[in-house]
Structure 1
Amino acid sequence: MKLSILDQSPISFNQTAKEALNESMELAKLGESLGYTRYWITEHHDLAGLASSAPEVMLAYIGANTNTIRIGSGAVLLPHYKPFKVAEVYNTLATLFPDRVDVGLGRAPGGSAEATNALSDNFLQNVYKMPSLVKEFLHFLNGDFPNDHEFSKVSAAPVPDVLPAPWLLGTGKKSALLAAQNGLSYAFGQFMSEVDGAAIIQAYLDAFKPGKQGQKPEVIVTVSVICAETTEKANEVANSALVWSIQKAKGEGKEGVPSIKDAQQYILNNVEKETLENMKKKFIIGSPTDVKKKLMEMQAYYKATEIMLNTITYSAKDRFNSYRLIAAAML
């Protein structure tokens, strides 16, 4: 099974953003050494506790400090940007790091309404235009606008020897069908979705139309995973991320991921306790044996070609250890 990493560059309590971003680089290096297929970093804007507002900057840094692992965005939030600029950026990365760059496209705002308005004009209108934005981006990437098109003579330079590999990311049927119609690989964010992902992925597979290069359908499923030597330890470590999610929903948690001790001491009411238990059902938490079993079951259920792991812990030591243990059990 192919395993990969999705990193949100979480900032822990008493940690600086610089430290969090350096940990992201170290995580990519670790993933490469352990045999993970790819490292993707997310795009978020003005969200307390996450340092990943400029993935294209981090990918240049990470690419320069790694050699073989594929690097990419998870995702470029396309409605914020002109497709031409996105193609230029990722062509530049693919020129610097040949045959290693993915460009994942998404339609989410990635932050609050205020942050969205500060970042771009007409975001909602551009969300409705997502199908045409994707097509325009692909034309810039492939350099194949019709001769009578206004952009037929515009090149998204530098043009690399091997183009970035485009992916479409999403959590619903609309994104899955858009990927299928354009012959794109599809990444389903199970860790963010409340719907039946298996049905969405099947819709993608059924509707898939190969692109000009005759691509075959590829499916990544992204899941929140925390692994430790024992299930008891894994649950202890996972509690920090779970409590942090509840804190953020209440407008708290702006100081970052709480420590294991602080998470244990955080008082939850009965509704919040139920919320936490429901959140745990979407996580995979356990020992290496347990995690391996659940990931294998997930791959079969979703018909995924690859599983991407998102792991948030208070300490980098626990986060890196989780990826090490899973790699030792599965790669």
Structure 2
Amino acid sequence: MSPTPTLRLSVLDQSPVRPGATARQALQETTQLAQLTDRLGYTRFWVSEHHNTTTLAGPTPEVLLAHLGAHTSRIRLGSGGVMLPHYSALKVAENFKMLEALHPGRIDLGIGRAPGADRLTAYALNPSNQFKEEDFIEQLVDLQAYLRDDRTPETIHERVLAIPQIDTQPELWLLSSSGQSGDFAARLGMGFTFAQFINPNGGPAAVRAYRQQFRPSPELAAPAASVALFVLCADTEEKANALAKAMLMQLLRFEQGVRGPYPTAAEAAAYQFGPLELTRLRYHQARVVSGTPAQVHAQLTELAAAYEVEELLLTSITADFADRLRSYELLAEAFELTPTSQTVAETVEMD
């Protein structure tokens, strides 16, 4: 297998609560995974924001990132992403300036516009949110100003500072599953990540449009783009197929409004897709890359070439945590990532 030295691998972790496990265990597993991928040579470790669900345990990326920073040494840490319409731009800026002060040069602020929950929960988080495009753009402009310590006369930024005052700032990324936020990222000079794990259609065109429209900013002189997708890698094709089938079952269930626990290996093996589900499989299969190390290496290399990106963010969910760890280990070997022996903390133990 030929090496791909220019392709960087990163992680987008959702802190999934496995069947029979607890939310506390899910967060411990996220910490263990961050430590493993830190040692294996992955570039970034991002954590997501979700609300009003029992299957994912991460509603507050900024809190979890502070913990992960204390248990890792090298890997960049970020949000994938903070759902900005729920919050004030000032508070988000201060949260991530604090993280940057604690872990300088390692913090990414990934921003999303989607609710990360149902509309009722979004209302409970911010009753004044109208989901208007102009409101979101205004928040992004304010967020940049707070992070830059702008003193623009006759604006709020002339008198209000985001603290702590530090000499570095987190990287800014916009996340999108439709491409619209790619337009915002290009206009404001931010990085852009397309979420293929949510929407498998139109990604390369969205990234291409972002590059064409990009305007340099003080923080980013040239466009920076990446792609996030579900990836499941196993030692054998049979095992990889089983992991992929469980993932597809969960995606179909979610589409059907079923919010139960992730399928176990036994459930996945016994399950037969119905006629209506078979019509949706092609769509969902495009959200998932699976196979042996050689097969996944080929698929990811081809996908990166289609997007013309040099970085992929990989999301893996499995019923057995060991399978999740093994998937990232195999990918690190397949892409010949450079491991590190640095450690800063003892591995978090499971309950």
**Same fold, TM exceeding 0.5?**
yes
* Matched residue type, 1:204: Y
Unaligned runs of 5+ in 1: none
2:242 to 236, 239, 244: 236
SS of corresponding position for 1:102: strand
Q: SS at 2:227's partner residue?
A: strand
Aligned to 2:306: 301
Q: Distance in 2 between matches of 1:276 and 1:136?
A: 42
Paired residue for 1:191?
197
d(CA) in 2 for partners of 1:237, 1:7:
17
1:20 aligns with 26
Counterpart amino acid of 1:324? E
* Partner residue, 1:220: 226
Q: How far, CA to CA, are the matches of 2:70 and 2:132 in structure 1?
A: 33
Q: 2:157 aligns with which of 139, 142, 151?
A: 151
Identity %: 37
Q: 2:49 aligns with which of 33, 40, 43?
A: 43
Give the alignment of 1:255-266 within 5 angstroms: 256-266=261-271
Partner amino acid, structure 1, of 2:317 = I
Contact kept? 1:239, 1:260, Cα under 8 Å? no
Say which SS state the counterpart of residue 164 (structure 2) adopts. Answer: coil
CA distance in 2, matches of 1:214, 1:270: 48
Q: What corresponds to 1:119 in structure 2? A: 125
Select which of 245, 250, 258 maps to 1:252. Answer: 258
RMSD: 1.4
SS of 1:294's equivalent in the other structure is: helix
Aligned with 1:275 (options 280, 283, 288):
280
Higher alpha-carbon deviation: 270-279 or 205-214:
270-279
Structure 2: distance between partners of 1:24 and 1:246: 25
Deviation of 1:61 (Å): 0.9
- In 2, the alpha carbon distance for the partners of 1:207 and 1:279 equals 30
Partner of 1:287: 292
Report SS of the residue matched to 1:192: coil
Counting matched residue pairs gives 330
- Alpha-carbon distance between aligned partners in 2 of 1:208 and 1:250, rounded to the nearest angstrom: 38
Gaps of 5+ in 2: 1-6, 338-351
Structure 1 equivalent of residue 98 of structure 2: 92
Give yes or no for contact 2:111–2:175 (8 Å, CA) kept in 1: yes
* Deviation sequence 1:89-113 (CA, Å, 0-9, x none): 0000111111100000110001011
Q: 1:190 to 1:111 in 2, by over 3 A?
A: same
Sort the Cα spacing of 1:171 and 1:248 in 2 relative to 1 into closer, same or farther, 3 A: closer
Shift of 1:140: 0.4
Q: Single out whichever of 72-81 and 168-177 deviates more from structure 2.
A: 168-177
In structure 1, how many angstroms separate the alpha carbons of the residues matched to 2:50 and 2:13? 11
Q: 1:312 is matched with which residue?
A: 317
For 1:234, give the aligned amino acid. A
The structural deviation recorded for 1:281 is: 2.9
TM-score when normalising by structure 2: 0.90
How many Å separate the matches in 2 of 1:18 and 1:126? Answer: 36
When the two structures are superposed, what TM-score results if normalisation uses the length of structure 1?
0.96
Q: Distance in 2 between matches of 1:223 and 1:50?
A: 17
State the partner residue of 2:328. Answer: 323
Q: Provide the secondary structure at the position in 1 that maps to 2:197.
A: helix
